[in-house]
Structure 1
Amino acid sequence: MAERHVLGLSGGKDSAALAVYMRQTHPELDIDYFFTDTGEELPEVYEFLGRLEGYLGKPILRLNPRRDFKFWLKEYNNYLPSAQTRWCTRMLKLKPFEQWVTPMLKSGDKVTSYVAIRADEDYREGYSSKQYNLLIKLPFREAGIDKAGVMDILESSGVGYPSYYEWRSRSGCTFCFFQQKIEWVRLKERHPDDFDAAKALEKDALEHGSPFTWSKGESLSELEQPERISEIKAEYEARSARLRKRIPSNPLRPTKESPEDIDDVYGDDEGGGSCLICHK
């Protein structure tokens, strides 16, 4: 029997900040850092993980699913994943973690998994353990660390933010269905090959009867039309302007505007409610 400590990284800011925080506050713990790689991640995610490895001074284990996205798409009758049916998270994120940790648990090891749920996220719950020797800990919630605290951790450590935050509000696959429409537009502008690959997957799925498109209410072929792109950009700017007027300024903690804040612009109707394990 052994005592193991594991911390999953999504490629996002919160889990990265938690890894930095644990290294700073609990250097005595030998933590295994892991990233569940779907093979469909943004290139910026891999760059950020490399930067984080440099700070942590140890490699981040890549957990790869035994079957890729296209395999599971066929298994699910070519139905695209959606907010209602999140089979991608289940098969490409949770399953690989369970396959990795199960041998430890069966051998009687005590495994503590650290999850990056912040103190200002009372509405979120972590991975629900069904094993008596798999313990889930929420260090940020216990220490009262909120979103501003996460920003301070990343900036003061020199790790900084993932570069995709320049244009996208969360990590995850290139074709994550929780993307907002403005983010699909930016994906087309920054990674046109990835946009085209997502469009091809969507076209094939629709031809096989999938009731879902990647973006709510329209296909990517419709979304990428020049007049539609102009409309999406104009709508985004108008909603962003309204949001800025509602946010009180705090001279003691100036707010840095970033695409991450468009979570607040759109809410749950478009892009909100993303999977915890994918974007934290």
Structure 2
Amino acid sequence: MTAPRQRKPDQTRHVLGISGGKDSSALAIYMRTKVPQMEYFFCDTGAELPETYDYLNRLEAALGKPIMRLNATRDFDHWLQVYQGTLPSASMRWCTKNLKIKPLEEWLGNSPAISYVAIRADENRIGYVSTKPNIKAVFPFREDGIDRDGVNRILEESGIGLPAYYEWRTRSGCYFCFFQRKHEWIGLADRHPELFERAVEYEDKVKYQDTAMRGRQYTWSQGESLRELLDRREEIGERHAAALARAARKPRPNLPLIEVLADALDEDSDEAGCAVCHL
């Protein structure tokens, strides 16, 4: 890999965040010759899936440049202590704020920067856009009309392919991400039982603290604990199988597995993931 170029203090930086998902990875490949001075970064929460780290290594080799890992000293456990054991949730996303947004803005400082965001042409969302005046967001896929099929072609032609977790999960992010669907929690229990148990331990610890102090119960998955969710394994599996069957009957033949999974919005959850993680 080539060493990063030295830059002048007032020189505009070009940065591209890698989430570990297919869209941001495809954008990195797409931009590697268009913007040779691009700086790639990954906000490491310390709670990523093993498949994510493996994929980052493959992507780094394909880019021929290092991907800067942020959060080397302040991971999820650090911030969990700061927030007194309160688990993050859809209504209180302190994980996104402290493990994704702050590290990026601290890393960039006050340097003028252009941030390349992997929103596709077929998506109706914005993603994370910094409010700092020195950071300007651009959307190459949207500007160039590249949709989901285009992203898949970029990854296939580059030889990178898709991250292995797409066999059972529809988005990147922490192994205990509260945006996971019920069947994805079952997938975690099957493929990474040690990580599932670690998520249960977080939940048990918080349950003990909150019951003792405020009588509340916080869980990763809405409406039930992970132990209760695992007890419903058969029911959840049946509902997910039915959702997959409905998605497969849609008039789009020969869909890859990830597309079928993404279309299988079962009754458990169809909420979009974090704007920073889900790229």
- Do Structure 1 and Structure 2 share a fold, with TM-score over 0.5? yes
1:60 paired with 2:61, answer no
Pair 1:239–1:130, CA change in 2 (3 A)? closer
Equivalent residues of 1:263, 1:271 under 8 A apart? no
1:65 CA drift (Å): 5.7
2:113 aligned residue (106, 111, 114) = 111
**2:208 and 2:28 mapped to 1: Cα distance?**
43
Residue correspondence of structure 1 range 75-86 to structure 2 within 5 A: 75-86=82-93
Answer whether contact 2:181 2:268 (CA < 8 A) is retained.
Answer: no
Letter in 2 for 1:114: Y
Contact 1:80 1:212 in 2 (8 A): yes
Q: Hey, what's the Cα distance between the residues in 2 that align with 1:67 and 1:16?
A: 24
Cα distance change on mapping 1:67 and 1:160 into 2, 3 Å: same
Contact 2:11 2:112 in 1 (8 A): yes
Partner of 1:5: 14
- 1:192 deviation in Å? 0.6
Letter in 2 for 1:265: A
Question: Does residue 242 in structure 1 map to residue 246 in structure 2?
Answer: yes
Count residues with an aligned counterpart: 265
- 8 Å contact 1:17–1:154 — kept in the other structure? yes
Give the equivalent residue in structure 1 for 2:237.
233
User: Matches of residues 1-280 of structure 1 in structure 2 within 5 Å?
Assistant: 1-24=10-33, 26=34, 28-64=35-71, 66-102=73-109, 105=110, 109-122=111-124, 124-209=125-210, 211-225=217-231, 228-245=232-249, 247-250=250-253, 254-258=254-258, 261-266=260-265, 270=269, 272-280=271-279
- Structure 1 distance, partners of 2:88, 2:132, is 28
CA–CA distance in 1 between the matches of 2:147 and 2:195?
33
SS at match of 1:127: coil
**Cα distance change on mapping 1:224 and 1:267 into 2, 3 Å:** closer
Tell me by how many angstroms 1:9 deviates.
0.2
Task: Answer whether contact 1:119 1:141 (CA < 8 A) is retained.
Answer: yes
* Secondary structure class of the residue paired with 2:119: coil
- Residues 41 and 172 in structure 1, CA contact (< 8 A), matched pair in contact too: yes
Query: What TM-score do the two structures reach when normalised by structure 1?
Result: 0.89
- Segments of structure 1 that go 5 or more residues without pairing to the other structure are none
Paired residues of 1:177 and 1:271 also in contact (CA < 8 A): no
Instruction: Give the alignment's Cα RMSD to 1 decimal.
Output: 1.7
> Structure 2: which amino acid aligns with 1:224?
L
Q: Deviations over 1:213-234 (max 9, x none)?
A: 1111110111122xx1111111
TM-score normalized by the length of structure 2? 0.89
Quick one: structure 1 residues 262 and 177, their matched pair in 2 at CA, closer, same or farther if it must change by over 3 Å? same
The 2-side partners of 1:33 and 1:268 are apart by 37
* Unaligned runs of at least 5 residues, structure 2: 1-9, 211-215
The structure in which a higher percent of residues are helix is 1
Deviation at 1:267, TM superposition (A): 6.3
